[in-house]
Amino acid sequence: MMNYKNKNVIIENWGLLNYKYAWNKQEEILQKIIDVKINNRKINNIKETPNYIIFLEHFPVYSIGKNGNKNNLLINNSALLKYGIDYVKTNRGGDITFHGPGQIVVYPILDLENFFTDINKYLRKLEQVIIDTLADYNLKGERSSDETGVWLSPNTPFARKICAIGVRASRWVTMHGFALNINTDLSYFENIIPCGINGKAVTSLKRN
Protein backbone atom coordinates (compact mmCIF):
# COMPACT_ATOMS: atom_id res chain seq x y z
CA MET A 1 0.00 0.00 0.00
CA MET A 2 1.29 3.45 -0.90
CA ASN A 3 2.27 5.73 1.94
CA TYR A 4 1.71 8.91 -0.03
CA LYS A 5 -1.71 9.68 -1.47
CA ASN A 6 -1.50 11.89 -4.55
CA LYS A 7 -4.81 13.71 -4.94
CA ASN A 8 -3.63 16.00 -7.73
CA VAL A 9 -5.38 15.44 -11.06
CA ILE A 10 -4.07 16.09 -14.55
CA ILE A 11 -6.78 17.47 -16.87
CA GLU A 12 -6.52 16.75 -20.60
CA ASN A 13 -8.74 17.59 -23.58
CA TRP A 14 -8.38 15.05 -26.38
CA GLY A 15 -10.83 16.71 -28.76
CA LEU A 16 -12.82 14.61 -31.25
CA LEU A 17 -11.44 11.05 -31.51
CA ASN A 18 -12.27 7.63 -32.86
CA TYR A 19 -13.55 5.45 -30.00
CA LYS A 20 -11.04 2.61 -30.41
CA TYR A 21 -8.11 5.02 -30.61
CA ALA A 22 -9.20 6.76 -27.40
CA TRP A 23 -9.75 3.38 -25.72
CA ASN A 24 -6.19 2.34 -26.58
CA LYS A 25 -4.84 5.62 -25.18
CA GLN A 26 -6.74 5.01 -21.94
CA GLU A 27 -5.34 1.50 -21.68
CA GLU A 28 -1.79 2.82 -22.11
CA ILE A 29 -2.22 5.34 -19.28
CA LEU A 30 -3.90 2.78 -17.02
CA GLN A 31 -1.07 0.29 -17.58
CA LYS A 32 1.59 2.88 -16.79
CA ILE A 33 -0.13 3.64 -13.49
CA ILE A 34 -0.42 -0.07 -12.69
CA ASP A 35 3.27 -0.54 -13.50
CA VAL A 36 4.14 2.15 -10.94
CA LYS A 37 1.98 0.42 -8.35
CA ILE A 38 3.62 -2.95 -9.01
CA ASN A 39 7.10 -1.43 -8.74
CA ASN A 40 6.12 0.31 -5.50
CA ARG A 41 5.55 -3.09 -3.93
CA LYS A 42 9.07 -4.17 -4.84
CA ILE A 43 11.11 -1.18 -3.70
CA ASN A 44 11.34 1.03 -0.65
CA ASN A 45 11.44 4.31 -2.60
CA ILE A 46 7.71 4.76 -3.19
CA LYS A 47 6.70 6.70 -6.31
CA GLU A 48 3.36 8.47 -6.40
CA THR A 49 0.78 7.45 -9.00
CA PRO A 50 -0.78 10.12 -11.25
CA ASN A 51 -4.48 10.74 -11.75
CA TYR A 52 -6.09 11.94 -14.98
CA ILE A 53 -9.44 13.29 -16.11
CA ILE A 54 -9.82 13.19 -19.89
CA PHE A 55 -12.44 15.26 -21.77
CA LEU A 56 -13.32 14.39 -25.36
CA GLU A 57 -15.99 13.69 -27.96
CA HIS A 58 -16.28 10.67 -30.23
CA PHE A 59 -17.16 10.09 -33.84
CA PRO A 60 -20.50 8.21 -34.01
CA VAL A 61 -20.19 4.84 -32.29
CA TYR A 62 -22.29 2.33 -30.39
CA SER A 63 -20.28 0.88 -27.52
CA ILE A 64 -21.46 -2.09 -25.50
CA GLY A 65 -20.20 -3.28 -22.13
CA LYS A 66 -18.53 -6.63 -21.54
CA ASN A 67 -21.78 -8.16 -20.27
CA GLY A 68 -24.08 -6.25 -22.62
CA ASN A 69 -26.70 -7.90 -24.81
CA LYS A 70 -26.01 -7.46 -28.54
CA ASN A 71 -29.76 -7.82 -29.16
CA ASN A 72 -30.03 -4.28 -27.80
CA LEU A 73 -28.47 -3.13 -31.08
CA LEU A 74 -31.51 -2.85 -33.35
CA ILE A 75 -29.75 -2.43 -36.71
CA ASN A 76 -27.48 -4.78 -38.67
CA ASN A 77 -23.92 -4.39 -39.90
CA SER A 78 -25.07 -3.15 -43.30
CA ALA A 79 -26.95 -0.29 -41.67
CA LEU A 80 -23.94 0.53 -39.50
CA LEU A 81 -21.79 0.79 -42.63
CA LYS A 82 -24.44 2.80 -44.48
CA TYR A 83 -24.69 5.40 -41.73
CA GLY A 84 -20.98 5.40 -40.87
CA ILE A 85 -21.40 4.27 -37.26
CA ASP A 86 -18.82 2.11 -35.50
CA TYR A 87 -19.82 -0.71 -33.14
CA VAL A 88 -17.36 -1.63 -30.39
CA LYS A 89 -17.57 -4.28 -27.66
CA THR A 90 -15.66 -2.86 -24.71
CA ASN A 91 -14.37 -4.03 -21.33
CA ARG A 92 -16.41 -1.55 -19.29
CA GLY A 93 -19.53 -2.23 -17.28
CA GLY A 94 -23.01 -1.37 -18.49
CA ASP A 95 -24.86 -2.24 -21.67
CA ILE A 96 -25.10 -0.42 -25.00
CA THR A 97 -25.00 3.33 -25.54
CA PHE A 98 -24.21 5.86 -28.25
CA HIS A 99 -21.33 8.33 -28.39
CA GLY A 100 -21.11 11.12 -30.91
CA PRO A 101 -20.48 14.83 -31.49
CA GLY A 102 -22.34 17.10 -29.11
CA GLN A 103 -21.83 14.70 -26.21
CA ILE A 104 -19.23 15.37 -23.52
CA VAL A 105 -17.40 12.16 -22.67
CA VAL A 106 -15.25 12.14 -19.54
CA TYR A 107 -12.75 9.41 -18.73
CA PRO A 108 -11.35 9.62 -15.19
CA ILE A 109 -8.22 7.48 -15.01
CA LEU A 110 -7.70 7.56 -11.27
CA ASP A 111 -5.78 5.46 -8.79
CA LEU A 112 -8.57 5.05 -6.28
CA GLU A 113 -6.01 4.10 -3.64
CA ASN A 114 -5.19 7.82 -3.66
CA PHE A 115 -8.79 8.55 -2.62
CA PHE A 116 -10.92 5.60 -1.45
CA THR A 117 -11.27 1.97 -2.48
CA ASP A 118 -14.98 1.58 -3.09
CA ILE A 119 -16.34 1.21 -6.64
CA ASN A 120 -19.95 1.77 -5.61
CA LYS A 121 -18.97 5.01 -3.89
CA TYR A 122 -17.00 6.00 -6.99
CA LEU A 123 -20.05 5.49 -9.23
CA ARG A 124 -22.23 7.53 -6.90
CA LYS A 125 -19.59 10.30 -6.91
CA LEU A 126 -19.68 10.37 -10.73
CA GLU A 127 -23.47 10.62 -10.66
CA GLN A 128 -23.27 13.47 -8.15
CA VAL A 129 -20.91 15.44 -10.41
CA ILE A 130 -23.55 15.29 -13.16
CA ILE A 131 -26.40 16.11 -10.79
CA ASP A 132 -24.52 19.17 -9.53
CA THR A 133 -23.69 20.25 -13.09
CA LEU A 134 -27.30 19.97 -14.22
CA ALA A 135 -28.39 22.04 -11.21
CA ASP A 136 -26.31 24.91 -12.64
CA TYR A 137 -28.69 24.78 -15.63
CA ASN A 138 -31.78 24.63 -13.41
CA LEU A 139 -32.36 20.97 -14.19
CA LYS A 140 -33.06 18.37 -11.53
CA GLY A 141 -30.86 15.40 -12.31
CA GLU A 142 -31.67 12.31 -10.26
CA ARG A 143 -30.67 8.70 -9.75
CA SER A 144 -33.00 5.87 -10.74
CA SER A 145 -33.18 2.80 -8.51
CA ASP A 146 -30.84 -0.01 -9.65
CA GLU A 147 -29.94 1.92 -12.83
CA THR A 148 -26.53 3.58 -12.94
CA GLY A 149 -26.52 7.02 -14.56
CA VAL A 150 -28.41 10.29 -14.24
CA TRP A 151 -32.01 10.87 -15.22
CA LEU A 152 -34.65 13.55 -15.50
CA SER A 153 -38.01 12.65 -13.93
CA PRO A 154 -37.08 9.05 -13.06
CA ASN A 155 -39.82 6.70 -11.84
CA THR A 156 -42.41 8.60 -13.87
CA PRO A 157 -43.88 8.00 -17.36
CA PHE A 158 -41.62 10.85 -18.54
CA ALA A 159 -38.31 9.32 -17.36
CA ARG A 160 -35.41 10.14 -19.67
CA LYS A 161 -31.73 9.48 -19.30
CA ILE A 162 -29.32 12.34 -19.84
CA CYS A 163 -26.03 10.76 -18.75
CA ALA A 164 -24.76 7.20 -19.13
CA ILE A 165 -22.02 5.78 -16.92
CA GLY A 166 -19.84 2.72 -17.45
CA VAL A 167 -16.45 2.08 -15.86
CA ARG A 168 -13.72 -0.48 -15.45
CA ALA A 169 -11.15 -0.78 -12.66
CA SER A 170 -7.96 -2.82 -12.48
CA ARG A 171 -5.84 -2.82 -9.29
CA TRP A 172 -8.04 0.11 -8.20
CA VAL A 173 -7.17 2.15 -11.31
CA THR A 174 -10.25 3.33 -13.20
CA MET A 175 -10.96 3.92 -16.87
CA HIS A 176 -13.96 4.66 -19.11
CA GLY A 177 -16.42 6.99 -17.37
CA PHE A 178 -19.52 8.96 -18.32
CA ALA A 179 -21.19 10.52 -21.35
CA LEU A 180 -23.38 13.60 -20.88
CA ASN A 181 -25.68 14.54 -23.76
CA ILE A 182 -25.39 18.27 -24.50
CA ASN A 183 -26.68 18.84 -28.03
CA THR A 184 -26.28 15.28 -29.27
CA ASP A 185 -28.26 14.04 -32.27
CA LEU A 186 -30.64 11.86 -30.28
CA SER A 187 -31.97 10.04 -33.36
CA TYR A 188 -28.97 7.69 -33.07
CA PHE A 189 -30.49 6.28 -29.87
CA GLU A 190 -33.48 5.02 -31.89
CA ASN A 191 -31.26 2.23 -33.24
CA ILE A 192 -30.56 0.74 -29.79
CA ILE A 193 -32.22 -0.07 -26.50
CA PRO A 194 -30.14 2.44 -24.52
CA CYS A 195 -28.36 0.81 -21.58
CA GLY A 196 -30.59 -2.22 -22.18
CA ILE A 197 -33.53 -0.43 -20.54
CA ASN A 198 -36.86 -0.70 -22.35
CA GLY A 199 -39.54 1.97 -22.25
CA LYS A 200 -37.43 4.93 -21.14
CA ALA A 201 -36.29 7.81 -23.31
CA VAL A 202 -32.96 9.57 -23.75
CA THR A 203 -32.60 13.33 -23.67
CA SER A 204 -29.97 16.08 -23.78
CA LEU A 205 -29.21 19.38 -22.13
CA LYS A 206 -30.53 21.09 -25.26
CA ARG A 207 -33.82 19.16 -25.32
CA ASN A 208 -34.23 18.28 -21.58
Domain boundaries, the chain: 10-202
**Quick check: 2 pLDDT over 70?**
no
- Is 195 catalytic? The answer is yes
Q: pLDDT per residue over 83-127, tens digit each? A: 999 999 999 999 999 999 999 999 999 999 999 999 999 999 999
- Residue 1 binned pLDDT confidence (cut-offs 50, 70, 90): very low
What's the chain's average pLDDT?
Answer: 95
Return the higher-pLDDT residue of 47 and 183.
Answer: 183
pLDDT at 43: 77
Q: Say how far apart CA 31 and CA 54 lie, in whole Å.
A: 16
pLDDT at 111: 98
Q: pLDDT per residue over 25-37, tens digit each? A: 999 999 999 999 9
Helix (H) or strand (E) holding 162: strand 160-170
Q: pLDDT per residue over 128-154, tens digit each? A: 999 999 999 999 999 998 899 999 999
pLDDT at 42: 84
* Separation in Å, CA 100 to CA 70, 105, 122: 19, 9, 25
| Range list of H helices, the chain | 19-40, 77-83, 119-135
pLDDT at 3: 53
Give the mean model confidence (pLDDT) for residues 60-66: 97
Q: What top-level class would CATH report for the domain 10-202? A: alpha beta
Q: Which of 54, 96, 173, 195 is catalytic?
A: 195
Return the higher-pLDDT residue of 10 and 5.
Answer: 10
- Residue 53 binned pLDDT confidence (cut-offs 50, 70, 90): very high
**Quick check: 4 pLDDT over 80?**
no
Taking the alpha carbons at both ends of the chain, their separation in whole angstroms is: 44
83: Cα separation from own chain's centroid: 24
pLDDT at 189: 97
